[in-house]
Every structure is written in C-alpha cells, then in structure tokens.
Amino acid sequence: MSIIPALRRLLGPAPATPVEPVIVQVPVPAEDRRADLEPDIPRGLTVAAGYAWRLGLLGVGVWALFQVLAYFSQLTVPLGIAILLAAALYPLVSLLRKWGWPPALAAIVALLFLVVVVIGLLAFVGQQVVAEWPELLEQSRAGFQALVAWLGTLPFGIDEARLNDWIAQGTAWLQTQASVLASTAASVGAAFGNFFAGLATALVAAFFFAYQGRRIFAGSVEVLVPRHYRASVDQAALRGWTSLVAYMRSAVIVAAVDAAGVALAAFLLQVPLVAALFALTFFLSFIPIVGATVAGAVAVVLALVTHGWVSALIMLGAVVLVMQLESTFLQPLVMGKAVDLHPLAVLLGITAGAIVSGILGALLAIPVLAFGVAFVRALRNPSPASG
C-alpha cells in the first residue's frame, strides 16, 4: 500500500489557489464626460462659440482677399469692368454666333459696336454743345444779372458791388493757392492717364472674355478646383453668369428710364441741350448715387442760367422725383426681379458697396451679389443650368 495516498486521506484535500478578480474598464460616453461641465458651459454657448470662431476665420479670409484685390486694383478693377462689358455684350455675341459668325469675329464686332455707339453719342453731345454754346453764354449772362438783381432785393445787403468784391477776393485766394492747384492738376492728369490705361486693359480683356470666356473659365476651374467638384462648380458658375447677364440688361433699362425722365422734364421746361442731357444722364446712371447726382445738378444749373430760379426749382423737383423713383422703386424692382434678389437686398447691397469702396463698390456690389447668390443657390440645389 502506498504511503502518499494514505497521507492525503489523513490530511484532507489541499486548499484551493486564490483567483485574482478581473476588472473590466467600461468606456464612458462622451456625453457623460461632459456632464460635469454642462452647468458651467451651456450647450448653446458651446455651439455659438463654434460658429463664432469659424465665422471669424471666414471674415479674416474675406478681409485678406479684399486687401489683395485692392493692392492690385490697377489690374482687378479693369478685369471687373471687362466682365461687366462681356456680360452686356453676351446677347449680341450669342446672336451673331447663332447666325454662323466665327467666335472671334462675333466678339470683335460686338465690342466695336459698343465703342462706336459710345463715341457716337459723345460726339453728338459735343456737337450740340458747340452749336448752342454762344446762345447758352448769352443766356447765362442774362441769368446771372437777373440773379444779382434778385439778390439785391433781399434784406441781406447783397448787391452787385458786394458780389464783385467777393469774386475779387476769391480770385486773390486762388492766386495764393497756385502751388496746391498745380499739384492737384498733376494728380488729376495722372488719374486720367491711369483711367485710359485701365480702359484699354478692360476693352482688350472684354474681347477675350466674349471670345474665349468659356475656355478661360474651364481652364481656371481645372487648375484651381479638385476633380470631384469641377462639374458642380461649372454648373453653378453658369447659373451665376446667367444672373449677371440679366443684371446688365436691367441696368441698361434703368439708365434709359432715368435719362428719359430727365430729358422729358428739360423738354417741357424748354431747357437747352435736351439730347445732351439724355446722353449724359444715361451714361452717368451706371454709376450709382454720384452719377445721378451729377446729371441732375447739370440739368438744374442749365435751367437756372437759362430760365431763372423758378424753372431751376421745378427742374430740381423733377430730378429728385426721377432719382427717388429709380433708387427706391425701379432699380430694386427691375434689378431684383432680373437677378432673383429681394428689392431690399439690392438697396442694402448698393449701400454696403458704397461704404466699403465708394463709387466703385456701389457699381460692383449688385453684380457681385447677383453672381454670388446664384452661384451658392446652384451649389445647394444642383439642377441643369440654363443659358
């Protein structure tokens, strides 16, 4: 009999080896980890902060882009004007292409047509001014004498001697400011030089945009946009271009209505240079705010020097009425409908553009807004582009 089994029976079973407990780490959800912070940082504030820093980055990007465009303004401004000219010429270029004209010939004929029309109107205005200038000078002298006589009837002691004294003092002051006037004239001359250089750049760029605008844009998209987004960006840009063309068409309508209103008032008051006033108002109406003001001031001055202050006041009332109808009714309604923008958005866009960049900002605000809104809408709701 073996000894070991007998000893095991006497001593009993061996004690069991203790087992270490296994601790399982359960992941805590992200919501539970933020639970302790919720009383101190509300969920709405967290979301608002997220929007704030993202919008801040976008604002910095827009500001940086604006600074770059402003630094290269001698290049970017003519290109912007060229795009507007190409949009204005697009219906004529498309019509000529439908008739079978080569693209280059259609573009240059449309551009030459625009140049001939503008130069022809300016030449007609100059010819009319030269023809009526002697009579206008005579009427101006008579109007000035009548104004002096009327001032003499007022209880302010203003007579012809006093006016001559004021004129002499003004002439003496101008003589003391000769150096300032010379520097101002030099700066104006340089500004005119830059204007004509920019105009030449704009005309050349407008020709290429009308001739090969589609190819130029496609090449830019191929270089700047990732392949996955090229089709949607191209479609959205076509939608924006259609809106821009509609804006230019409506701008011509608004300018024509303004010019017709001012010319009709001048004709009824028998103010000279009616055709010149029509052409001047038409061209200046493309410059928001300042253009209409300058055209109206010229009409009022002509009425004053030729027919007296009563006709000038009537002319002033007519100009103010036309400009108010244009700014508060016609422009927002016609342009807003053409570019699918609310009239209030058009009005606020012009004001914001004037605040940011003056006359140029007011001129380009609505085209940029029209293109941008149509572009974003096409990206959000893609559909076959028209036009």
pTM of the model: 0.69
What local confidence, expressed as pLDDT, does residue 386 receive? 43
Whole-number average pLDDT of the chain: 77
What local confidence, expressed as pLDDT, does residue 387 receive? 40
Nearest CA among 280, 254, 248, 272 for reference residue 370: 248
pLDDT exceeds cutoff 90 at 16: no
Find the DSSP H helices in the chain.
3-11, 30-33, 43-71, 73-98, 103-152, 160-176, 178-224, 230-268, 274-284, 290-307, 309-325, 336-338, 343-380
Highest-confidence segment of 84-93, 139-148, 249-258, 369-378:
84-93
- Band (109; pLDDT cuts 50, 70, 90): very high
pLDDT exceeds cutoff 90 at 308: no
Please indicate whether residue 122 or residue 343 has the higher confidence score (pLDDT). 122
How far, in Å, are 82, 140, 156, 253 from residue 347 at the CA level? 24, 38, 43, 17
What local confidence, expressed as pLDDT, does residue 324 receive? 79
Please indicate whether residue 332 or residue 31 has the higher confidence score (pLDDT). 332
Rounded to an integer, the average pLDDT of 28-45 is 62
What local confidence, expressed as pLDDT, does residue 28 receive? 52
Rounded to an integer, the average pLDDT of 352-357 is 80
pLDDT exceeds cutoff 60 at 82: yes
What local confidence, expressed as pLDDT, does residue 385 receive? 44
Rounded to an integer, the average pLDDT of 188-216 is 81
Rounded to an integer, the average pLDDT of 364-368 is 83
27-36, 138-147, 225-234, 259-268, range with the lowest pLDDT: 27-36
Highest-confidence segment of 18-22, 167-171, 323-327, 367-371:
367-371
pLDDT exceeds cutoff 70 at 36: no
